[in-house]
Amino acid sequence: MAIVPLVAAKGSAGVTTAALTLAAVWPEGRGAPVVVECDPGGGDVAARFGLEVIPGVVSLAAELERSGPADPADCGNQVGGHTQELPGGLRILVAPTSPEEMRLPLERLAEDLPRLAQAKADFMVDCGRLEASAMRQHTAVLRLIQRCGLVVVVVRPELAALQHLNVWLPTLRSLDVDVLALLSGRGPYSPEEIGDTMDLRVIGALPHDPAAADVVCGASGSRPDRSALFRAARPACAAIAAVLARSQSAPVAPTPLEEAVP
Ligand SMILES: Nc1ncnc2c1ncn2[C@@H]1O[C@H](COP(=O)(O)OP(=O)(O)OP(=O)(O)O)[C@@H](O)[C@H]1O
Ligand SMILES: [Mg+2]
């Protein structure tokens, strides 16, 4: 199956909300996805939902370190043994809050997640905010993105956020992956304007919908299936699924990592 990494150029863009929302409305035909917290800044979901941080990425990474990825036929069970279930049924690999505790698990998962993606579930990966060091070196997140063949950049449609994204586009494009933009929240610019001006493929716009975003991020309440947030997320998922279907039917040789970032 596939891995869908989501990142932002700047903090609080809405990446975690977008990852959880897209996973909640992921096309049924692709099966239920697993959300993976791979934010180098540390995870938020365990705290927001009152979960323990283990099982999660730390325990999965420790197992991978010990015994490597399971055979393709069994790697679904290997991942499944470390997931927790959110209200509404979404499966997730949660991350520790501390960036320091996240460092080694992230290195491990950047290597092994692509092999584990042979399991029957797609992975929706919250990669958090791009770190400044990624402009100079191959951080774990950049290596993971490169191996996935695509990246979804979550950005608020406002000038400052778009300028931050603009700074990162050369780095992301140098990875030779499909760069897709998902707008999040309010701003003066339309998807079309942003797409044309930045020569960027905009796959959708998640509206400012605090009530639904709160439930997605851990507030009590029923699954906001009819919310503006969920309605906008469905076509975005369909656009991502179309990119995945195209790339899976025509695999492209990966760019050598050494050449990816100048
Ligand atoms: N579409 C939306 N409508 C309304 N509120 C939103 C929306 N998306 C996110 N939010 C709110 O904005 C805040 C930040 O969202 P979120 O945690 O998803 O951002 P993030 O990019 O993951 O942040 P961080 O950089 O801290 O990881 C949260 O309070 C969330 O509820
Ligand atoms: Mg986040």
pLDDT at residue 250, as a whole number? 62
Among 32-41, 45-54, 116-125, 195-204, name the one with the lowest average pLDDT: 116-125
State the DSSP string of 78-89.
Answer: HHHTT-EE-TTS
pTM recorded for the entire structure: 0.95
Query: What is each CA distance from 242 to 65, 81, 199, 238, 246, in whole angstroms?
Result: 34, 30, 19, 6, 6
Of the chain, the percentage scoring pLDDT greater than 90 comes to 85
> Is 230:21 a contact under the CB 8 Å cutoff?
yes
Which residue of 15, 17, 20, 230 sits with most ligand 1 atoms within 8 Å of its CB, as the best mutation to test the pocket? Answer: 17
Distance 14 CA to ligand 2 centre (A): 7
- Quote the mean pLDDT of the chain: 93
- Nearest atom, ligand 1, residue 8 CA: 21
Distance 219 CA to ligand 2 centre (A): 16
> Is 57:36 a contact under the CB 8 Å cutoff?
yes
What amino acid is encoded at 211 in this protein? A
- Ligand 1 contact via 229 beta carbon (within 6 Å): yes
> Is 158:187 a contact under the CB 8 Å cutoff?
yes
> Is 142:38 a contact under the CB 8 Å cutoff?
no
Question: What pLDDT, in 10s, does the model give residues 107-149?
Answer: 999 999 988 877 789 999 999 999 999 888 889 999 999 999 9
pLDDT at residue 71, as a whole number? 86
Q: Is the peptide bond before 105 cis (omega within 30 degrees of 0)?
A: no
Residue 257, pLDDT above cutoff 90:
no
For residue 3, what are the β-bridge partners? Answer: 123
Question: What pLDDT, in 10s, does the model give residues 204-244?
Answer: 999 999 999 999 999 999 999 999 999 999 999 999 999 99
- Ligand 1 contact via 210 beta carbon (within 6 Å): yes
Residue 21, pLDDT above cutoff 90:
yes
The stretch 33-62 carries a mean pLDDT of: 98
pLDDT at residue 261, as a whole number? 47
Helical (H) or strand (E) element with 4: strand 3-8
Q: Could you give the domains of the chain?
A: 3-249 (3.40.50.300)
pLDDT at residue 46, as a whole number? 98
The stretch 157-172 carries a mean pLDDT of: 97
Higher-scoring residue by pLDDT: 159, 116: 159
Kindly give, in sequence order, each residue whose CB lies less than 8 Å from that of residue 53, ignoring residues fewer than 6 positions away.
43, 46, 94, 95, 96, 97
> Is 63:82 a contact under the CB 8 Å cutoff?
yes
pLDDT at residue 260, as a whole number? 47
The stretch 57-65 carries a mean pLDDT of: 97
Residue 13, pLDDT above cutoff 90:
yes
Whole-angstrom distance, CA of residue 166 vs CA of residue 198: 8
- Ligand 1 contact via 206 beta carbon (within 6 Å): yes
Which residue of 6, 12, 126 sits with most ligand 1 atoms within 8 Å of its CB, as the best mutation to test the pocket? Answer: 12
Question: What pLDDT, in 10s, does the model give residues 62-118?
Answer: 999 999 888 888 888 899 999 999 999 999 999 999 999 999 999 999 999 988 877
Residue 256, pLDDT above cutoff 60:
no
Phi (first) and psi of residue 209, to 5 degrees: -145, 75
Helical (H) or strand (E) element with 155: strand 150-155
Residue 258, pLDDT above cutoff 50:
no
